[in-house]
Amino acid sequence: MKEILGTTGLVMNEPLLWEKGGNGRCGFSMPRRDVESSPIDEGLVGPVPDFPELSEVDVVRHYTRLSQWNYGVDTGMYPLGSCTMKYNPKVNEKYASLPGFTGAHPLLPPSMVQGALKLMYDLERFLSEITGMDTTTLQPAAGAQGELMGTMLIYAFLRSKGEHRSKFLIPDTAHGTNPASVSLCDFHPIPVKSNEDGILSPEAVAEVMDEDVAGILVTNPNTLGFFEENIREIGEIVHGKGGLVYCDGANMNAVMGIVEMGKIGVDVMHLNLHKTFSTPHGGGGPGSGPVCVKKHLEPFLPVPRVVQEEGTYRLSSEYPDSIGKVHGFYGNFGVMIKAYSYIMSMGPENLKKASQLAVLNANYVKESLKTVFNLPYDRPCMHECVFSDKKLNVHKITTLDVAKRLIDCGFHPPTIYFPLVVPGAIMVEPTETESKETLDEFIETCKIIANEAEETPDLLHDAPKNAKVQRLDEVTAARQPCLAD
Ligand SMILES: *Cc1c(COP(=O)(O)O)cnc(C)c1O
């Protein structure tokens, strides 16, 4: 049997900064004081904080060691379903760090930031073209905020027609943020069941669609990794009763340059620039969730908007029906630069090819592992495939055990226990940037783990053994988080 990849090595333990260093140690030589010293008045500033005293090398080693405890796309495969953890080319970082961009203050007059405004203007148009929609706003900071904002557009649109509706349809294969977003906008989420193929049927939608439903929020491709093939017919049913179709486009990585959402009945959708358009994410860093709309929703988009007149760009707030602002200034500009750089460096043909490869890779993993794990929906998938732990349960092995054992073997675990329609789900999204060798290593490792489940189940129950932090008591970890060390 092939030796599995390990994760052991020179990984250092590291105390808190406060537990290191020594009195008077300093990493910086202050210039000689040329005024009288005066004590800090604690009455004015409060107690003086207890700053650690450290040398430069103490600080550099501290943060370098902490960074070595981390695992990211630059370390290895990160098949986290519904998250599109693709490799992000470094050229995007290079352009995002150009001094003209990093030094630009958002309050500079437009005449001094024509380049930045042009980039936003062009990016809006690129995204409209890629999705087949009419207009785009770059303001929302994440997918979930895009959902909320898109739902607010639907609310504003209906209100402009003198209507107030109270319900929103949410399929059972939706992303978890979808029902939360419509609830925040004061709609009541109504669940819709998917069929035996893992997609929505027009009949199921027709059954719950009525004149009190504002719209449907369809994650497409959905969280089972399937394209909602009936979306056009579903759109007709929803539109027929005066509702609108919102597409959660966070999984656009499967269909870039292939599906024009605007042509299949979608009124509004969001994209996740930090997933599909290549910005590193997962550590809570800035994201961007642009919202693309058809013409009828355009008047309600947030302000200010970038407008262009005879080659000159400016910001305009002259949109009386706008829902207002949803983010400080214009959104997360750094993420926009990376998306622009990614789109420009790929070009239309390669964007389409990226989607094709993402789909190919997911299907390769699905076909290679479908006899190893249980595959609840055995049909061609898009960007991700969903297995379950059904076959492993006879050995008292669960999805969590497999995920933890993968850590020992040098792979970031897939998304687990989601989507909820598959009990014990193992959701694998390999993305287009993994080579066949890496996919084969992952597949081989999964086969070894499935074999261990049968022969040496304790190896899985006790995993991870090679990682810095071993199996956690997840309940206590959630109920009594230890935030100090
Ligand atoms: C990631 C994701 C979201 C949420 O995006 P955030 O940027 O994390 O808020 C919404 N829907 C789907 C389908 C997603 O995959």
Q: Quick: pLDDT tens for 48-79.
A: 778 899 999 999 999 999 988 889 999 999 99
62 lines ligand 1 (CB under 6 A): no
pLDDT tens profile 387-413: 999 999 999 999 999 999 999 999 999
Q: Which residue has the higher pLDDT, 24 or 273?
A: 273
- 349-471, superfamily in CATH? Aspartate Aminotransferase, domain 1 (3.90.1150.10)
Q: Which residue has the tokens 């998304």?
A: 415
pLDDT of residue 8: 53
Ligand 1 contact via 133 beta carbon (within 6 Å): no
What separation in Å is there between the alpha carbon of 62 and the centre of ligand 1?
A: 33
pLDDT tens digits for range 251-290: 999 999 999 999 999 999 999 999 999 999 987 779 999 9
* Structure confidence at residue 190 (pLDDT): 98
**CB 272 less than 6 A from any atom of ligand 1:** yes
Query: Which CATH architecture best describes the domain 91-345?
Result: 3-Layer(aba) Sandwich (3.40)
> From the CA of 145, how far away is ligand 1's center (Å)?
9
The reported pLDDT for the residue numbered 3 is 57
Q: Average per-residue pLDDT in the chain?
A: 94
CB 276 within 8 A of CB 257: no
pLDDT at position 469: 85
Among 3-12, 44-53, 120-129, which is the least confidently predicted range?
A: 3-12
- Full-prediction pTM beyond 0.75? yes
Q: How far is it, in rounded angstroms, from Cα 450 to Cα 444? A: 10
Q: Give SS3 for 457.
A: helix
Integer Cα distance of 379 and 474 in angstroms:
34
Q: How far is the CA of 182 from the centre of ligand 1 (A)?
A: 14
CA distance 442 to 444: 5
Cα 173 to Cα 222: distance, rounded to the nearest angstrom: 6
pLDDT at 11 over 80: no
* Ligand 1 atom, smallest distance to 272 CA: 7
**pLDDT tops 80 at residue 41:** no
**For residue 148, is pLDDT > 90?**
yes
Cβ neighbourhood burial of 356 (10 Å; 0-12, 13-18, 19+): middle
- φ, ψ of residue 214 to 5 degrees: the values are -75, -30
Between the two ends of the chain, the Cα-to-Cα distance in Å is 40
175 ligand 1 Cβ < 6 A: yes
Check if the beta carbon of residue 350 is closer than 8 Å to that of residue 328: no
Pairing between β-strand 415-416 and β-strand 268-270 as defined by DSSP bridges:
unpaired
Residue pair 249/130 in contact by the 8 Å Cβ criterion? no
- pLDDT on residue 484: 67
Ligand 1 centre and the CA of 311: distance in Å? 35
Peptide bond into 31 cis (omega under 30): no
Q: Higher-confidence residue: 462 or 283?
A: 462
Tokens of 67: 């960074």
Rounded to the nearest whole angstrom, what is the distance from the C-alpha of residue 283 to the centroid of ligand 1?
14
Tens digit of pLDDT for each residue in 78-98? 999 999 999 999 999 999 999
Q: Is the pLDDT of residue 42 over 60?
A: yes
DSSP at 149 = H
Q: Percentage of the chain surpassing pLDDT 70? A: 97
pLDDT of residue 22: 86
Domain ranges of the chain: 91-345, 349-471
Q: What is the pLDDT of residues 210-236, one digit of tens each?
A: 999 999 999 999 999 999 999 999 999
Please give the backbone phi and psi of residue 137, each rounded to the nearest 5 degrees, phi first: -115, 140
84 CA → ligand 1 middle, Å: 10
Annotate 295-323 with b (16+ C-beta within 10 A) or e (fewer): eebbbbbbbbbbeeeeeebebeeebeebb
With a 6 Å cutoff on the Cβ, whether 143 touches ligand 1 is yes
Q: Ligand 1 centre from 419 Cα, in Å?
A: 13
Residue 6 scores a pLDDT above 70:
no
- Checking if the pLDDT of 142 tops 60, the result is yes
| pLDDT at position 1 | 47
Nearest Cα to 409, choosing from 460, 369, 458? 460
Which residue CA neighbors atom 2 of ligand 1 most closely? 250
Can you give the length of the chain in residues?
485
Strand, helix or coil for residue 236: helix
Closest CA to ligand 1's atom 1? 83
Contacts within 8 Å (CB) and 24+ apart, 196-199: 197/226, 197/377, 197/379, 198/173, 198/222, 198/224, 198/226, 198/377, 198/379, 198/421, 199/173, 199/224, 199/226, 199/227, 199/228, 199/229, 199/230
Ligand 1 pocket check for 384: Cβ under 6 Å = no
Distance separating alpha carbons of residues 207 and 214, to the nearest angstrom: 15
Instruction: Write out pLDDT tens, residues 342-369.
Output: 999 999 999 999 999 999 999 999 999 9
